[in-house]
Amino acid sequence: MNTRASRNPLYQDLDLGKLPRHVAIIMDGNGRWAQSRGLERLYGHRRGKASVKAIVELSRKIGIEYLSLYAFSSENWQRPAQEVKGLMNLLKRYLTTELDRMMKNGVRLQVIGNTRRLPSDVRQALRHSVESTKRNKDLTVILALSYSAREEIANAVRAVARRVRRGDLEPDDITEEVIAESLGTAGVPDPDLLIRTSGEVRLSNFLLWQVAYTEIYITETLWPDFREHEFIEALRQFQARERRFGRLPDQPEESVERPSDRAPLRVAR
């Protein structure tokens, strides 16, 4: 937490010592934002890019550790070729224009998803940004690109199956941790807060494994209009929630065995 941030009136209702470590966002509503103004959908995506910059910047300033952004789903490949091409161009431009700022601000970029499907110039820009920023320590931004949670889980199952076939792992030793460490998000704590903009009440195949106990916040605001105040409001509401993880409200945490301490479930056959 930095003192400059704690003095900013924008954050006055916020306990900067109790922020979510990891915020995940389904950035939705760009198309509707543009269409409601009689503009092409791509204008909405462009404005959405400005929201990305604002939210990354604020997250870094207040000390959030991980920010996962759903930017393009595997299902989004089904959109008209022109929109996909426009999105890929925007992404490439974002990566090249933001790299300096990421370096200056200590932002580390990571990517999850099937990046092999992305155009080669985008892949190259991604590789460059991920490699250049890998030692940055302030905020990790995880871009979900060509991402599908079910695909990610299927890949993890394949990787675990190969370890079993090689004899490196016993089936009974396949724990939740083994699975979590085989996902694209290996090493990243589960999201504490998931935000979806534009009012849709669904997960759209985002981080299905990781959001098991995530607090969900849905706002009607469209992504291009989602800026600092909206984000602070989501964080404020998060701080007012009681996370019980299946326990009773007044049960002290120390008295509880953590899920990660549990022995793997063994199925009787």
Interacting residues toward Mg ion by CB under 5 A:
28
Nearer to Mg ion, 28 or 98 (CB): 28
Q: Does 26 bind ligand IPE (CB under 6 A)?
A: yes
Catalytic residue from among 76, 89, 114, 155: 76
Question: Is position 28 annotated as part of the catalytic site?
Answer: yes
SS3 216: strand
| Count of residues near ligand IPE by CB under 6 A | 19
Q: Which does residue 71 bind out of Mg ion, ligand IPE, none, counting CB within 5 to 8 angstroms by kind?
A: ligand IPE
Bridge partners for 110 per DSSP: 142
Query: What CA–CA distance (Å, rounded) separates 117 from 91?
Result: 14
> Which class for 194: exposed (0-12), middle (13-18), buried (19 or more C-beta within 10 A)?
buried
Question: Is position 8 annotated as part of the catalytic site?
Answer: no
Per-residue binder mask for ligand IPE (CB under 6 A), 119-138, x = binder: --------------------
The strands making up 107-112's β-sheet, listed across from edge to edge, are: 107-112, 139-147, 66-73, 22-26, 193-196, 215-218
Among 68, 136, 198, 210, binds ligand IPE (CB under 6 A): 198
Among 11, 66, 72, 231, binds ligand IPE (CB under 6 A): 72
Min dist CB 18 to Mg ion, Å, is: 31
Catalytic residue from among 28, 30, 136, 205: 28
Query: What CA–CA distance (Å, rounded) separates 260 from 263?
Result: 8
- Give the long-range contacts of residues 264-269, CB within 8 A, separation 24 or more: 264/172, 264/173, 264/174, 264/175, 264/176, 266/172
126's enclosing H/E stretch is: helix 120-133
The piece of 27-35, 105-113, 135-143, 234-242 that touches ligand IPE (CB under 6 A) is 27-35
Nearer to Mg ion, 28 or 215 (CB): 28
Q: Which residue is nearest to ligand IPE (CB)?
A: 31
Residue 159 CB partners (closer than 8 Å, separation 6+) = 182
Q: Does 202 bind ligand IPE (CB under 6 A)?
A: yes
Q: Does 152 bind ligand IPE (CB under 6 A)?
A: no
Q: Where are the beta strands (DSSP E) in 118-232?
A: 139-147, 193-196, 215-218
Nearer to Mg ion, 179 or 203 (CB): 203
Which residues of the shown chain bind ligand IPE in the complex (CB under 6 A)? 26-32, 70-73, 75-76, 87, 198, 200, 202, 204, 223
